[in-house]
Amino acid sequence: MKTIEDLGDLRGKRVLVRSDFNVPLDGTTITDDGRIRAALPTLQALTAQGARVIVVAHLGRPKGAPDAKYSLAPVAARLGELLGQPVALAEDLVGDSAKATVAALEDGQVALLENVRFDARETSKDDAERGALADELASLADAFVSDGFGVVHRKQASVYDVALRLPHAAGTLVLAEVEALRKAVEDPERPYVVVLGGAKVSDKLGVIGNLITKADKLLIGGGMMFTFLKAQGHEVGSSLLEEDQVDTVKGYLAQAQEAGVEIVLPVDTLVAPEFGSDDYQVVAVDAIPAGTMGLDIGPKSAALFREAILAAKTIAWNGPMGVFERPAYAEGTKAVAQALVDTDGFSIVGGGDSAAAVRLLGFDEAGFGHISTGGGASLELLEGKTLPGIAVLED
């Protein structure tokens, strides 16, 4: 992939940057600005060269039309604070306000276009519709930099089609993400351990199938662990269970055994009568009481997982071990994060809820080898898939 340096002298040039600013909001307050901070190195590199930077991004899931609750106004304000300069926000994406905002830029300044998903063409499956929006976006700029790793698995106008229309390069974030994740996929230093959590097995089927042939150990926690336990013949009470995936999981357990890959499942779990209850207890996974649900891995499981992580040379983690947003159910996730900090191996936190947990639980991000900004994109890379937003950058 070309880098920003390959674009030549950018002073006075208009550079369109696709960033990932899909941050969590409480009303108009950003509760986690990690994705905005991750974009700074690329934006600062461009402004230092005197480029006129035009950022395009999305927020939330508007229905292809303007929606005030998904406006990027809070993002523009926070980005301006972090950059130490005002960031002008256009009132539209490619209309009169966008054109006027871009025309007013001076060398080294930054503007943000309004939410790209306010235009239904951004996510259209029709190549011509996406292409028409890409034409309009491209008309605003002289070059394109892709730096929104969280969206590179999407074939969308501002991710894929614009790159076909302008001189293009990968931003520093995308380059770092791809290098770190491909290190885990293509040539990991062994032992290679993958920790998978989160709610649903179905969300991780592709990555499990791919990693059975690549990893040395798979550690399974989170809500998805109960489908594995059910596949082993255990009763799981009212825990989250994907009954339709039990046979698939049985196949993975057999495949892993045949391949010599160890699938490590929890031996104990924290259960409660209902979500949010303070009436919880730790039980063995073969003794989950009827009418209770598992909400975290237990302390023995956390110790088991820690031991496997500390013995590894490469560790990839995607998905929390429990409902980490509640302190009572966060100990398993906290234990995994702490083990990743303590390991001498190369650790990758695979974006999404895992990255949010690291920040919410108060860990220093510098303690991890790499924290991804893209949950879905990092999963698809771990699955070995070709990502459209990466492929279009590779000449």
- Binding residues for ATP, by number, are 204, 294, 325, 351-354
- Considering the candidates 64, 369, 376, 384, report the single residue annotated as catalytic: 376
| Known catalytic residue at 165 | no
Catalytic residue among 2, 182, 200, 300, which? 200
DSSP 157-170: IIIIIGGGTS-EEE
Runs of H (alpha helix) within the chain: 34-48, 73-83, 96-103, 127-138, 172-186, 205-211, 225-231, 246-259, 299-310, 331-342, 352-360, 375-382, 388-391
Question: 154 vs 19, 157, 242, 367, 392, CA distance in Å?
Answer: 13, 9, 27, 30, 11
Helix and strand element counts for the chain (H, E): 13, 17
Measured distance CA(228)–CA(220) in Å, rounded: 8
Q: Which of 14, 35, 121, 230 is catalytic?
A: 35
Contact 306, 331 (CB under 8 A): no
* Distance of alpha carbon 270 from alpha carbon 294, whole angstroms: 6
Cβ 189 vs Cβ 154: under 8 Å:
no
Alpha-carbon Rg for the chain in angstroms = 22
> How far is residue 17 from each of residues 43, 52, 57, measured CA to CA in Å?
8, 10, 9
217 is catalytic: no
Q: Is 63 in the active site?
A: no
Instruction: Report the binding-site residues for substrate.
Output: 20-22, 35, 58-61, 117, 154
Closest Cα to residue 152, out of 351, 320, 349, 6?
A: 351
Residue 11 annotated as catalytic = no
Q: Distance between CA atoms of 87 and 109, rounded to whole angstroms?
A: 8
Q: Which among 131, 197, 221, 352 is annotated as catalytic?
A: 352
User: Do 148 and 120 meet the contact criterion of CB atoms below 8 Å apart?
Assistant: no
What value, to the nearest 5°, has the Cα angle with vertex 128 and ends 391 and 19? 45
Q: Is 328 exposed, middle or buried (0-12, 13-18, 19+ CB in 10 A)?
A: middle
Binding-site annotation, residues: 20-22, 35, 58-61, 117, 154, 204, 294, 325, 351-354
| Listed residue (242, 198, 189) closest to 220, CA to CA | 198
Residue of 352, 347, 37, 387 lying closest to 178 (CA atoms)? 387
* 213: DSSP letter: T
Kindly report whether the peptide bond that precedes residue 191 is cis, defined as omega within 30 degrees of 0. Answer: yes
Residues known to be catalytic: 35, 200, 352, 376
